Amino acid sequence: MKRLFGAFGLFVLLAAGFAPTHAQDEPLKIVASFSILADVVKNIAGDSAEVVSLIPPDADPHAFQPAPQDVALLAEADVIFINGANLEEGLLEVIENAGEKMNLVVVSQCVPILPGVQDHTDGEAHNEVDMSEIAVLCEKHHEEIGEAETPNMLYALDCGHEEESDDHGVCDPHVWTDPQNVILWTLFIRDALIQLDPGNADTYTANAAVYIQQLDALVKDEILPALAAIPEENRVLVTNHESMGYFAAAYGFEIAGSVIPSSSTLAEPSAGDIARLIDVIEANDIKAIFAEVNVNADLVQQVSDESGAEFYVLYHTLSNTDGPASTYLEMMRYNVQTIVTALSK
């Protein structure tokens, strides 16, 4: 496999085409990097594939370190789906070393990427491969959902890599906090599966159409009406790390700050960072601070205690099967209701 860092770490160019894996008398073996992505892939693949999440539910994708059995799982997969934009920081080297003939798909290729807290993106196209074919694919996907193509899509950005820079968060990888981006995932996954398994193209196409309808209804019928209860002056978010930028941009919220001033949970805040955040919360009478369920909450609790802002928990990966966020749709419902509860007071 060719080694490509930058906007998405490693990737196999979807538009270059995959060879069909085998006659589909047995389902595709698919590995998705983390639980949300696995759930989306399952909705599109249906019964035509076996889909597993490499990173367990409730685990932090930024910090996850694979075990030897995880490497074997990658090597046996027909295709591996990852988010990209350096979300899977601890996996890239392992994925690269798992096999030379691996089909690796970065599903966020056509998503317009927001800069992380340290804005070093320059919008220049990656110069190691010909991006013209994937650009055509992204244009097709944006037309399919009835929106104009936007700049700064992942395939055309250099997001850096932690081995090459001390900077974390040059691109914000948390694209799924806006369901519109998950629609773009869905189209990309659909086309990848069709190329791998053309015999089940009708199934993948139909399943993707149904899931896109569900995502569209989630936004129009649930998220937008629920968020309408929050007064405009209360639409301010403070989070554990820079993880809600896409949600904020989609629904008219301001990000006032974060405990970890980075798009990665691997960064460490200084005492001065914490003190400045507490000052911001107090000066703006911010009512709530949000942290993911899978992070160490000690610093968040400290900020909450010292500032008076109430501490609420959100999900950025899926919960276990008995939790309140066992699918992506349920996770978004839970998070939106939590935000409404916290900020509509």
- pLDDT for the residue numbered 264: 66
- pLDDT tens sequence across 243-271: 899 999 999 999 999 887 766 666 778 88
CATH topology of domain 224-343: Rossmann fold (3.40.50)
- Residues 6 or more apart whose Cβ sits within 8 Å of residue 152: 112, 113, 114, 121, 123
Nearest to 36 by CA among 267, 325, 341: 325
Which stretch of DSSP H or E encloses residue 279? helix 271-283
Most confident of 57-61, 87-91, 231-235, 240-244: 231-235
Residue 53 Cα distances to 111, 164, 174, 321, angstroms: 21, 28, 17, 13
Nearest to 126 by CA among 156, 105, 104, 102: 156
- pLDDT tens sequence across 170-199: 789 999 999 999 999 999 999 999 999 999
- pLDDT tens sequence across 42-63: 999 999 999 999 988 877 787 7
- pLDDT for the residue numbered 221: 98
- pLDDT for the residue numbered 95: 72
Q: pLDDT-based confidence at 231, cuts 50/70/90?
A: very high
Instruction: Give the least confident one: 77-86, 125-134, 217-226.
Output: 125-134
Place of tokens 């839970």: 334
**pLDDT for residue 78 is more than 80:** yes
- Is pLDDT larger for residue 306 or for residue 157? 306
Model-level pTM? 0.88
User: E-assigned strands of 200-324?
Assistant: 236-241, 254-260, 288-292, 310-314
Say if 14-219 and 224-343 have the same CATH topology: yes
**pLDDT for residue 3 is more than 80:** no
| Percent of the chain with pLDDT strictly greater than 70 | 81
Q: pLDDT-based confidence at 68, cuts 50/70/90?
A: confident
What's the mean pLDDT in 288-306? 86
**pLDDT for residue 19 is more than 70:** no
DSSP 86: T
- pLDDT for the residue numbered 30: 97
Architecture per CATH, domain 14-219, reads as 3-Layer(aba) Sandwich (3.40)
- pLDDT for the residue numbered 126: 39
Residues in the chain: 345
Domains of the chain, by residue range, sit at 14-219, 224-343
Q: pLDDT-based confidence at 163, cuts 50/70/90?
A: very low
Nearest to 259 by CA among 244, 238, 280: 238
